[in-house]
Amino acid sequence: MMSHNITEAEKINLLNHAKIAMERAYTPYSNFKVGAALLDESGNIYYGCNIENAAYGPTNCAERTAFFSALAQGVKPRTFKLLAVIGDTPEPIAPCGVCRQVIVELLSEDTPIILGNLQGNWRETTSMELLPHAFVPSALLKEDTQ
């Protein structure tokens, strides 16, 4: 596990970056915009926003967009320092189930996740709190039985 010394100011700053990402969302069908910002250990920030499609299946959530962008740029899984997600919801937004599975795979178990809303409310969690008893990569490893 990594050591994540994150200040409250850094958390709020990343939520503000998630809000910028949220404004970039393409949501002509639901008009429900979500933004995500992902901070790596080097201090780089990767934006993600939800991108809808008329066929719905190809739609991609903000969280996955941020992760896929970071990995496409060469960042290694489980080397992130912080994830922030924001949406226009009454309570701090919660990731969908598919995003929770991606988060479990690509974040370290102890990486802080900040969930916020436009009213300034936020809460901190981790991937394992979001998806307890998750299906993890180690479940695919087979022991040598010979």
**Which CATH number covers residue 117?**
3.40.140.10
Is 3 contained in some domain? no
Q: What is the pLDDT of residues 23-55, one digit of tens each?
A: 999 999 999 999 999 999 999 999 999 999 999
Q: What is the pLDDT of residue 6?
A: 93
The verdict on residue 143 lying in a domain is: no
Tell me which residue range forms the domain holding 30.
Answer: 8-137
Active site residues: 63
DSSP secondary structure letters along the chain: -------HHHHHHHHHHHHHHHHT-B-TTT---EEEEEEETTS-EEEEE-B--TTSTT-B-HHHHHHHHHHHTTPPTT-EEEEEEEES-SS-----HHHHHHHHHHS-TT--EEEEETTS-EEEE-HHHHSTT---GGGGPPP---
Residue 142 falls within a domain, yes or no?
no
Confidence class for position 20, pLDDT limits 50, 70, 90: very high
Percent of residues, the chain, with pLDDT higher than 70: 95
Structural domains in the chain (count): 1
Residue 93, domain member (yes or no): yes
Specify if 146 maps to a domain.
Answer: no
Confidence check: pLDDT of 143 > 90: no
pLDDT at 54: 96
pLDDT tens readout for residues 100-140? 999 999 999 999 999 999 999 999 999 999 999 999 888 88
